[in-house]
Amino acid sequence: MSVQDDPSPPLAHRMADRELSAAVVAAQRGDEDGFRLAYRAVQPGLLRYLRLLVGSDAEDVAAESWLQIARDLPSFSGDGDGFRGWATTIARRRALDHLRRARRRPVVEAGVEELSVLPGDADTADAAMTALATDAALALLARLPREQAEAVLLRVVVGLDAKTAGRVLGKRPGAVRTASHRGLRRLAEHLEQAGVTLSDSAALTDMR
């Protein structure tokens, strides 16, 4: 592999992982607040990833996943990063089971339309714009071939390193890197063809 082995993640992310580690340890001792913190840290990325896999059923699959996470938490051992990977593995298995039950192929492009989340009361226009940009970005990511979309989402949105993402996907870290790099290249081409920047959210939405 020509790429150097997993360089350490950015500082901000590492600190979040440390907090997550503490929260998970607290939750394993039975602390409800610790569990809440872990949920809030992991759930948004998990849900975005699940939406790629199962579309509008993502909320249901996420709820099932958290039932299992809560139940099996005592058996987990590892740090915050490991917890992200563990939870994502559970969620992905649930998603694939869900798809098998529904006897249909994973949806990649469908379901993203439902992503538009109504901003809450306290949301400023700024936050609404951020949400819009997030939706647009996820919609573009969902247009990638599934292997690439999964790799990019696991790394960027769920926040896993290539090694942990590889464990979730049952692949080698190098394969995850290759898939995510190809995905980025393709995304860059999409953007170039459209001639947009992401701050131009309307243009992105039109691209869908």
Partner 1 sequence: MSTHRHRRFDRRTAEQLLRDAQSPGRPAAPDALGELLHAAAGPAREGELAGEQAAVAAFRAARLAPAPLPRRRTMIKTTLAGMMAAKILAPVAAAAAVGGITVAGVTGTLPLPEDTPANPPAQQPTTTPRSVIPTQDNAATPAAPNPSLTGLCQAYTSGVATAEGKAMDSPAFQVLIAKAGGEDKVTGYCAHRLADRSGAPQSVPSTGPTTPPHPTGRPSELPGVPDEDRPDRSTHPTGPPTSKPAHPIGSPTAMPPAGP
Q: Are 97 and 150 in contact (CB under 8 A)?
A: no
Judged by beta carbon, residue 103 or residue 105, the one nearer partner 1 is 103
Nearer to partner 1 (CB atom), residue 84 or residue 107: 84
- Number of alpha carbons in the 13 Å side-chain half-sphere of residue 117: 18
Q: How far apart are CA 37 and CA 110, in angstroms?
A: 31
Least distance (Å) between residue 192 CB and partner 1: 5
User: Quick one: 18 or 36, whose CB is closer to partner 1?
Assistant: 36
State the minimum distance, in angstroms, from the CB of residue 110 to partner 1: 18
Output the smallest distance, CB 136 to partner 1, in A. Answer: 7
From the CB of residue 97, how many other CB atoms can be counted at a distance below 10 Å?
12
User: Given CA atoms 149, 181, 156, 190 in this order, what sign does their dihedral have?
Assistant: negative
- 21 versus 89: smaller Cβ distance to partner 1: 89
Q: How far is the CB of 63 from partner 1 (least distance, A)?
A: 4
Residue 153 burial (C-beta neighbours within 10 Å; 0-12, 13-18, 19+): buried
Residue 1 is given by DSSP the state: -
